[in-house]
Structure formats: C-alpha cells, structure tokens
Amino acid sequence: MRLVLIGPPNAGKGTQARKIEAHYDIAHVSSGDILRKHVADATVLGQRAQGYMDRGELVPDDLIIDLVNDTLESTDIEKGFLFDGYPRNPVQAEALDDFLLEKGVTLDKVIYLHTDDDVLIRRATGRRICPICSTVYNIFGFAPKVEGVCDRDGAQLIQRSDDKEETVKRRLEIFEEQTAPLVEFYELAGLLLHIDASGTPDDVFDAVISELDQG
C-alpha cells in the first residue's frame, strides 16, 4: 500500500494513520510530527518552522520538502507507506511525484478525510497530547483514565499551541486556500477516496479499509 492521507486540521488524520499503519504494517510519515520533533529539540530548522506553525500557516516548501525527503531516505518504504499531512499544496505534490518517480514507485490511493468545520473546531479544543509518546486524547470522548495524565507513561498531557480556536480557524482557511486544490488534482488522477470522518474512529477506519480493499 502506498498511500497519502489528506484532510483539514483535526479531521483525524493522525488517529487513522496509526490504525492504517498497524493494519497494513507500512511506514507512517507525518510531516507535522517531524516538525514538532524539531521544534521540541530546538534545532535550527525547528526554530525556523515554529512561528509558521504557531500562526497556523504552512512552513515554507523548501524547508518541508527537504525535511520529508531526508526522512524518506532513512525510512523503510519498501513494504509500503502512508504520508500524513504531506503533500499540502501543488508544489509539494510535484516534489512527491518526483521523489517517487526516482524510486520507481507510484501512489495507490489518496484518502481524503472530511467533516464539518464545527466538528473540527470541537475536536481541536478537546485534543490533548502526550509530550513523551505522542498519544492523542480528547476530553470530549477519548479522555485518559486519569484527567490530564497519559495512560501509557504517566506524563502530564499538553494542549498543542496551534489548537486555540482562532488558530484552528486560520488553519482551516489555509486548508481551503492551499490544500483543497489537491483534492481535485488527485480526483482527476483517479486516486481519491472520499471518506466521511464524522463517525467514531472505528467507523472511519472501517470505511477506509473497506474502500482500500475494494481496490
């Protein structure tokens, strides 16, 4: 399986990516996770990216394309892969095509998760993440056993700085302006799977697997 997962902020891309990765035993490459790791480690690249991320804007293409290509060089993508949050605009889609062409592979499907903006904003304001193991929770339904504490490692959960309501609204605008054109691009290429992401994570996962297994 060689897959791309696109969708607006908080559609559940990371949640589904972890399930799909385990189901097909493929590599999961999340551009947001890669960037957050750089920010947490205070690398030069992380310092350059942080302002854009805090404002809810895309980091510059040159930065993200090099970063993802570097990650891919050291990732085993032989068995398949799932890109989560990348590509995010037509320039990145072209860069991905070039990379895959060089490797002699093509994409199988692009999964587009979508639901209403009010659902996305509610999910954002309820999201909490573990700074150690990156497990994602939500106070409106997927809460940890003990409030504010990670079930896996006992760390204090945090709220992402870009999950404030006004930043989420900005991220939604950016999605419409810059990422939504990819929906048509991949639809025309015959690769797009439309998935309604408003159900429970298990419902959404079942819909994804059922579509993928139909080929």
Q: Which residues bind ligand AP5 (CB under 6 A)?
A: 7, 9-15, 31-32, 35, 52-53, 56-59, 64, 85-86, 88, 92, 123, 126-127, 136-138, 141-142, 162, 171, 197, 200-201, 204
| Cβ 123 to ligand AP5 shortest distance, Å | 3
The distance from CA 81 to its chain's CA centroid, rounded to whole angstroms, is: 13
128 is catalytic: no
Q: Is 160 designated active site? A: yes
Q: How many CB atoms lie within 10 A of CB 206?
A: 13
- Residue 26 or 49: which CB sits closer to ligand AP5? 49
Helix (H), strand (E) counts: the chain: 9, 7
- On the question of a cis peptide bond just before residue 87, with omega within 30 degrees of 0, the verdict is yes
Among candidate residues 18, 109, 123, 127, the one labeled active-site is: 127
Least separation in angstroms between CB 111 and ligand AP5: 11
Residue nearest ligand AP5, CB atom distance: 32
Please report which helix (H) or strand (E) contains residue 119, including its range.
helix 117-126
Q: Name the active-site residue from 18, 36, 88, 128.
A: 88
Active site residue: 13, 36, 109, 123, which one? 13
User: Is position 13 annotated as part of the catalytic site?
Assistant: yes
Q: Considering 2, 123, 128, 171, which one is annotated as catalytic?
A: 171
CA distances, 17 to each of 49, 104, 166 (Å): 23, 24, 26
Query: Token pair of 207, please?
Result: 């819909």
Question: Does residue 88 carry a catalytic annotation?
Answer: yes
Distance CA 176, CA 201 (A): 24
* Side-chain half-sphere CA neighbours of 136 within 13 A: 18
2 included as an active-site residue? no
Pair 49, 37: CB distance under 8 Å: no
Q: Which is nearer to ligand AP5, 104 or 196 (CB)?
A: 196
Q: How far is the CB of 155 from ligand AP5 (least distance, A)?
A: 16
Least Å distance between CB 182 and ligand AP5?
A: 11
Q: What are the structure tokens assigned to 174, written together?
A: 């950016």
**Active-site residue numbers?**
13, 88, 127, 160, 171
